[in-house]
Amino acid sequence: MSQAEGVLRRPRPLWSLGLLRSEITTTFRRWRTLALLAVLAGVPVLVGIAVKIETGDGGPGGGGGQGGPAFISQVTHNGLFLVFTSLAVTLPFFLPMSIGVIAGDSLAGEAHGGTLRYLLVAPAGRTRLLLVKYATTLTFCLVATLVVALSALATGALLFPLGEVTLLSGTSISFGEGLLRALAIAVVVALSLIGLAAVGLFVSTLTSSGIAAMATTVGLLITVQILDTIPQLSAVQPYLFPHYWLSFADLLRDPVYWDQLQKNLGLQALYAAVFGSAAWARFTTRDITA
Residue 67 is predicted with a pLDDT of 41
Q: pLDDT truncated to tens, each residue of the chain (290 aa)?
A: 444 444 344 445 555 677 788 889 999 999 999 999 999 999 999 999 999 887 765 444 444 434 445 567 788 889 999 999 999 999 999 999 999 999 998 888 777 666 666 666 655 578 888 999 999 999 999 999 999 999 999 999 999 999 898 888 888 999 999 999 999 999 999 999 999 999 999 999 998 888 899 999 999 999 999 999 999 999 999 999 999 999 999 999 989 999 999 999 999 999 999 999 999 999 888 665 54
Q: pTM for this one?
A: 0.87
pLDDT reported for residue 127: 85
Q: Is residue 137 part of a domain?
A: yes
| Host domain of residue 192 | 15-285
3 inside domain:
no
Helix (H) or strand (E) holding 166: strand 165-166
Residue 8 forms part of a structural domain: no
> How many angstroms separate the CA atoms of 228 and 242, rounded?
8
Q: Is residue 5 situated within a structural domain?
A: no
- Cα–Cα distance measured from residue 133 to residue 273, given in angstroms and rounded to the nearest whole number: 15
Secondary element (H or E) of residue 173: strand 172-173
Nearest to 88 by CA among 173, 145, 167, 161: 145
d(C-alpha 19, C-alpha 16), whole Å = 5
Q: What is the pLDDT of residues 188-240, one digit of tens each?
A: 999 999 999 999 999 999 988 888 999 999 999 999 999 999 999 999 999 99
Taking only the tens place, the pLDDT of each residue in 20-53 is: 888 899 999 999 999 999 999 999 999 999 998 8
- Flag whether 10 is in a domain: no
Specify the 3-state DSSP secondary structure of 228: coil
Is 65 part of a structural domain of the chain? yes
What pLDDT, on the 0 to 100 scale, is given for residue 120? 64
Task: Please provide the size of the chain in residues.
Answer: 290
Number of structural domains (the chain) is 1
